[in-house]
A and B are shown apart, each in its own frame.
Chain A
Amino acid sequence: MMINRQVRRGAYIHIPFCDHICYYCDFNKVFMKNQPVDDYLDALALEMRSYGADGLPETIYIGGGTPTALNEKQFERLFIDIKHYLMSPSIKEFTVEANPESLNEAKLEIMKRFGVTRLSVGVQTFDNHLLKKIGRAHEAKDAEDAIRLAQEHGFDNITLDLMFALPGQTETVLHESLERALSLGTPHISIYSLQLEPKTIFYNRMKSGSLKLPGEDIEADMYGQIILELEKHGLHHYEISNFAKPGYEGIHNSMYWHNEEYYGIGAGAHGYWKGVRYANAGPVKKYIEHVREQGNARVSEHEVTVTEKMEEEMFLGLRLMRGVSIEHFNEKFGRPIEQIYGKEIEQLKAQGLLHERDDRLALTQKGVFLGNNVFEAFLIS
């Protein structure tokens, strides 16, 4: 047996352009109109080249913004560059985020041609009224059409993004969305509760008092409902917000939770490479300038200390339902976990938030809901 000493790594590529800004979104994004998209793609290529030279990734994930907002020419050009600089024959997963309104046959054909293995479609909800309320540009039917079209083009590994605890959303409305999502037969669903973030339209509405959100109790009930309904349909809950049929767990995202390294490429992208967590310049023009001048766009770098690495190992790893392997931790850090977190683990167990099974520490059912109490406990400082 050959021992593969190569470091596992992924690559995240950010496309910050959108035709449309959703009311809840605080990701790094801009209106596409009048943006120097071609210059941006040039800069991406330069960045990809420099990272690719360091070794090819096992997974690639193109996120946004809205990657499918690129026109077909730009879209194809992006994939040509990726093929050139980052693609390897042994790639394990290649995901692209797509929005229902901008996914078409031509783009599907391009993605198929360039080896994309997985699509992540931003559906959010199948309730037209709610879609409008959260500022989405598509209707429920557009989402269904887009997914069916993708399936017809041979994409069976598709994940849907859904949201809950939306303003005015009831458990019945949520149930209907889950049913419609399940009926599409995709092997993976990610579902996130609405989080109010500064610099979003919703945040401002909340500040002015004009946004009514379901309270914490309803949110908790919905979360319970989601787990129950999706599990019933064979999508197992493998991470706080992620559900998959066996074998369809997201490989790229799992790398984050396993505290492994990845290249972050593009404006505002975050990466973790050779022990350093870094962030790229966010504004598109700044990003392009930086890449032109210095070959990358890093504006902040932080060498992760051993303590931080241990903390991250725990608060990322415990997001996975199977939890953290004690043996793996002990090996990785050369010290028994009890020596570092003995007290915290005992307390969390006593509170019924954490359990230990088959050499793994994992969240209990209660711990899944109160995850932040658990994650916080593993911060040492």
Chain B
Amino acid sequence: MSEKQGTRQSRIRNFSIIAHIDHGKSTLADRILEATQALTQREMKAQTLDAMDLERERGITIKLNAVELNYTAPDGETYIFHLIDTPGHVDFSYEVSRSLAACEGALLVVDAAQGVEAQTLANVYLALENNLEIIPVINKIDLPNADPDRVKQEIEDVIGLDASDAVLASAKTGIGTDEILAQIIEKIPAPAGDPDAPLQALIFDSLYDAYRGVVVYIRVVEGTVRVGDQIKMMANGKTFEVLEVGVSTPKIENREELSVGDVGFLTASIKSVHDTQVGDTVTHAEHPADKPLPGYRKMNPMVYCGLYPIDTARYEDLREALGRLELNDSALQYEPETSEALGFGFRCGFLGLLHMDIVQERLEREFNIDLIATAPSVIYNVKLTDGSSVRVGNPSEMPERKYIAEVEEPYVKATIMTPNDYVGAIMELCQRKRGEFQTMEYLDANRTNVIYDLPLSEIMYDFFDILKSSTKGYASLDYEMDGYRVSDLLKMDILLNGEKVDALSVVVHQEFAYDRGKAIVEKLKELIPRQQFEVPIQAAIGQKIISRSTIKALRKNVLAKCYGGDVSRKRKLLEKQKAGKKRMKAVGSVEVPQEAFMSVFRMSHDD
């Protein structure tokens, strides 16, 4: 190692920010960018790291981002900071763990009023597993209901971190930013590693660029990667020639090489993000490392749903759009499927519900394709009476009951952190959702972790909404997959106007079938507008109708008023009505609005 490289390496600090949604992660990132003058005020868009509109709207970060910042400390030394952003949702916890693995330290941002939340806790555990130095930051201390002393105590009691040096900050006003920067330099260790060792670079993100191919975001752990190097992806052995390496400041800056401790990108004419799996290790083709970095795991979709264009003529557009999204989203899977009710579409697999929502919204917004999404489903393992077994991700494909020996469904281990007052309400909720109580952990005088095993399908429904509403928003949820278990599950069909609509079929637990059938039928009655004829809605298990309701026929909709010659107003009303119909799908002779397909899922079993 040259002396220069040694000095440079000793001044690198790699860190992430861990925070619950709304606790101020993006705002703090903005303050750090400002302090290091990475961007002029004019260039600053509020919350710079959240690039996609969708992320900005939802206040969450989906795609990871890393920036290199030069910070001149008050002592005159210049340090190289790499700030690595992490997604803030449980669907993406694996990605979070990989971006944390690219760091030596993390800022733990906790809201001074709200305190530690379950998801923060989960991410702190991920950080501790990766041996990160954690700097607690108590944010929003300027809020009237801020209680930093209580939150400090919480951090010590709940997480077990020493919070005596916790920074009291307001990312919004800039209070505490200098102290945070000082602690980053002082507490987070410089990266260890040998720039001359065989290359080991951790992939923590990648995205597809139409001109450059896949841009791979890496953290160099050992060795050095240079333009022109032949590199190898250790998971699949594919090799590529490096065309560019560089960093984002956040402007793109190309470099000659990236060495130990550097966080940046490389491009190598890679055609698909499927070759650059998050967590994989990049090494040299000719002098490969002995083994990959630990922790790589292939991500499998947990949730499936059917996506269909409302306008059947746009099937090919949808295929193309999915292909484009897939370039950038290695977790997205899709294959063609056909529905009697909806025609040609795709069965798509997602990491979780948020991932699913994001893909749908992007298809509608970026590609302008109006979609019908069927209710999401988990994958069931179905053992048949003939001894064979099938995996079913589409409820309408669930075999008839007489052929089924048993059905297994995926379970999760759910950790719900709650103020003590709501433990009863949460246990009641979990029981209703077929949960099995595991244990309770008393975190401090006020709070408890309630741990349940729950079917994943139940978490997918309105679990989180009910949890929030029955605990005044105080409880928070984290979960991890916990294998498959046998359950007494059945397929329920929905009939509109006497015809079975495959896209509305759901899998339900025997015990809840009647209530669920009734609720779905009522909900559909509410959502499907009156047609020119009466439309019966039925829920059936096998041949047996278990619930029924009727949408009355449309009687009158004629516009009465004259509007004093304002014809444009009449026209607008009619155009609006027509546009509304375009967003409906004709199922047989019944016009069904988009949201009805989702409603069988959105509604709870028991409301």
Chain A residues at the B interface, C-beta cutoff of 8 Å:
12, 14, 27, 63, 190, 192-193, 195, 216-217, 219-220, 223, 240-241, 253, 256, 262, 264, 269-272, 277, 279, 302, 308, 311-312, 315-316, 351, 368-373, 375-376, 379, 381
Contacts and interface: CB of A to CB of B under 8 A. Distances in A.
Of B556, B557, B570, which is in contact with the most chain A CB atoms at under 10 Å from its CB? B556
A315 B574 contact: yes
B558 A372 contact: yes
Contact of A220 (B556, B560, B574, B578): B556
Nearest to B557: A372
B530 interface: yes
Interface in B543-598: 552, 554-568, 570-571, 574-575, 577-578, 581
Q: Nearest 7 CB-CB pairs, A to B?
A: A371-B558, A220-B555, A220-B556, A192-B560, A372-B557, A270-B566, A369-B556
A315 B558 CA distance: 11
B554 to A, nearest CB: 6
A256 B562 contact: yes
Interface residues of B, number: 25
B532 interface: yes
A368 B552 CA distance: 18
B573 to A, nearest CB: 8
A14 B558 contact: no
Interface in B204-226: none
Interface of B: 530, 532, 552, 554-568, 570-571, 574-575, 577-578, 581
Contacts of B568: 270, 277, 279, 302
21 contacts: A12-B564, A63-B564, A195-B560, A195-B561, A216-B554, A220-B555, A240-B558, A256-B562, A256-B567, A269-B564, A270-B563, A279-B566, A312-B567, A316-B570, A371-B559, A372-B574, A373-B532, A373-B557, A375-B559, A379-B571, A379-B575
B567 A370 contact: no
Given A192-B560, A270-B564, A379 B552 contact: no
Given A369-B558, A375-B574, A27 B567 contact: no
B571 A312 contact: yes
A278 to B, nearest CB: 10
B557 A370 contact: yes
Contacts of A271: 565
B117 to A, nearest CB: 34
Nearest to A216: B555
Contacts of B570: 315-316
B555 A376 contact: no
B565 A223 contact: no
A88 B557 CA distance: 40
Nearest to A12: B565
Given A193-B560, A370-B557, A256 B565 contact: yes
Contacts of A316: 567, 570
Of B552, B558, B560, B574, which is in contact with the most chain A CB atoms at under 10 Å from its CB? B558
A376 B591 CA distance: 15
A298 to B, nearest CB: 13
Contacts of A371: 557-559
A272 B564 contact: no
B556 A216 contact: yes
A284 B479 CA distance: 61
Of B532, B552, B562, B570, which is in contact with the most chain A CB atoms at under 10 Å from its CB? B562
Contacts of B577: 372, 376
A14 B564 contact: yes
Given A216-B530, A256-B567, A270-B563, 10 more contacts: A193-B556, A240-B559, A241-B561, A269-B565, A270-B564, A312-B571, A351-B532, A368-B558, A373-B557, A379-B575
A216 B532 CA distance: 13
Given A312-B571, A376-B574, A376-B578, A369 B560 contact: no
A168 B473 CA distance: 40
Nearest to A271: B565
A370 B532 contact: yes
A240 B568 CA distance: 18
Contact of A219 (B532, B555, B561): B555
Of A190, A312, A371, A376, which is in contact with the most chain B CB atoms at under 10 Å from its CB? A376
A223 B532 contact: no
Nearest to A381: B575
Contact of A217 (B555, B566, B581): B555
Contacts of B581: 376
A8 to B, nearest CB: 14
Contacts of A216: 530, 554-556
Contacts of A12: 564-565
Contacts of B567: 256, 270, 272, 277, 312, 316
A369 B554 CA distance: 9
Contacts of A269: 564-565
A286 B522 CA distance: 51
A363 B547 CA distance: 38
A219 B554 CA distance: 11
B570 to A, nearest CB: 7
A368 B167 CA distance: 71
Nearest to A351: B532
B555 A372 contact: no
A162 B246 CA distance: 75
A370 B532 CA distance: 9
A63 B561 CA distance: 14
A77 B581 CA distance: 50
A190 B563 CA distance: 13
Of B532, B554, B565, B571, which is in contact with the most chain A CB atoms at under 10 Å from its CB? B565
Given A312-B571, A351-B532, A379-B578, A372 B559 contact: yes
Contact of A370 (B556, B563, B571): B556
Contacts of B564: 12, 14, 27, 63, 269-270
Nearest to A221: B555
Nearest to A367: B558
B560 A240 contact: yes
A229 to B, nearest CB: 17
A225 B276 CA distance: 71
Contacts of A223: 556
